Amino acid sequence: EEKEQARQENFKKAFSHYFRFKDLSRELEKYNDFDLKKEQRALGKSLYKNKEIFEHIEKIDPEISKAIKESAQEKQREYSRGGFSL
């Protein structure tokens, strides 16, 4: 009971991140904003790390799941180059 409730709360939070990620994607198509991109990367990383949620998103929205994966991996690539891009 308590475990299931925690799981449902986790799903709710993740899906609010999913919808925010989609909103940010639309905003970033219009204009490039560093802060929005940074927020989108953080959301993408969070969603991608949660495998259960990410697999669900892959089924319902393959296009956004691809963007989430790319966003999460983009941050990793920046660090692997040994520097930060500004």
Q: Tokens at residue 42, please?
A: 């953080």
Q: Tokens at residue 64, please?
A: 């956004």
Question: Can you list the alpha helix ranges (DSSP code H) found in 1-86?
Answer: 2-30, 34-49, 51-60, 62-80
Contacts (Cβ under 8 Å, ≥6 apart) of 17: 43, 46, 47
Q: What is the per-residue pLDDT across 18-54, written as a single tens digit (0 to 9) for each?
A: 999 999 999 999 988 999 999 999 999 999 999 999 9
Question: pLDDT band for position 73 (50/70/90)?
Answer: confident
- Helices 62-80 & 51-60 angle (0-180, nearest 10): 130
